[in-house]
Amino acid sequence: MMTVLSWALLVILLLSSAILILMVLLHKGKGGGLSSMFGGGMSSVASGSTVAEKNLTRITIAVGIIWFACIIAFGLIMRAMV
């Protein structure tokens, strides 16, 4: 039987997973991967990192940390319930 805390962690985990997927997909391709195969590598190489890209990276890292913490906490709670 799942507690309120485990349900809350599960909801946060699902939301952070979806947000993390979207954040990763929003990043600009660096070339050499699938993004360049589909035309993403055509952008100018001389363009530097903008403030928006830096903020997107910071948000992605923050959401990744939240996702990782939820995975660990959910695993510990499920282990304690068994």
Span 9-59, pLDDT tens digits? 999 999 999 999 999 998 877 765 555 556 655 555 555 578 988 999 999
User: What's the pTM value of the predicted model, to 2 decimals?
Assistant: 0.74
Buried b (16+ CB within 10 A) or exposed e, 19-57: bbeebeeeeebeeeeebeeeeeeeeeeeeeeeeeeeebe
Q: Indicate the length of the chain as a whole number.
A: 82
Q: Is 31 left (phi over 0), alpha (psi -120 to 50) or beta?
A: left
Alpha-carbon distance of 70 to 65, in angstroms, equals 9
Joined together, the tokens standing for residue 54 give: 């830096």
